[in-house]
Amino acid sequence: MKSATVRKHVLAAASLAAILSVAGGCGHHQEEMKKTEAIRRDSQLNDINIVDAVRDSGVKAAIISQHTLYPYHFEQDRANLNELGQRDLTVLAGRLRSHAGELNIPRNGTDAALYESRVQWVMESLKAQGIAADHVKIVEGVGMTDGAPSEDVVREVRGLRTQSQTQMQNETSSQSQSSGASMAEGQR
């Protein structure tokens, strides 16, 4: 009987030890899972931040390249910039601090008084951001056009688009004709 009692105690102790080791192992496993999840979340956040940084640098490069405040950058029928215009002007001001240059503000049918008010508002805003008046020249053009009037640029772009469409139609027509001729030869 004594050996049966000892055996029961040994089995109970072994069972308790097994339960404790499994429970301890589960706790360790949960801890590892939490760490892995945190690392995965951090990695995703880093990826998002990298993509945002690349996108933002591309947007800033485009703003600087165009160096233009279009009518949609202004509040409708007002001289002041909207939120998008403010963002673009801030980017341009950062560039103009170290590199003097032109800032295009196309008229696009805006009446003379409103246009002049917009130009004045932009110049005052640049001055408030520390840009000297001699560092910026306001021109009535569109970005990357050397100050050409916007109407001329629109006409030129439309002409290029029409030429491109005509060329594509001609290429498609010639390909159709040549494939038709090839098919006719294959049937002979």
Q: What domains lie within the chain, and their CATH numbers?
A: 67-160 (3.30.1330)
Classify 121 as helix, strand or coil.
Answer: helix
What is d(CA 1, CA 79) in angstroms, rounded to the nearest whole number?
102
What is d(CA 105, CA 118) in angstroms, rounded to the nearest whole number?
9
Q: Give the CA angle between residues 31, 32, 34 to the nearest 5°.
A: 65
Give this prediction's pTM: 0.52
The parts of the chain modelled with pLDDT lower than 50 are 145, 147-148, 150, 153
What is d(CA 137, CA 126) in angstroms, rounded to the nearest whole number?
11
Question: Would you state the pLDDT for residue 78?
Answer: 95
Q: Are 80 and 121 in contact (CB under 8 A)?
A: yes
Report which residue type is found at 74. Answer: F
Inter-CA distances, 77 with 83, 118, 119, Å: 15, 10, 14
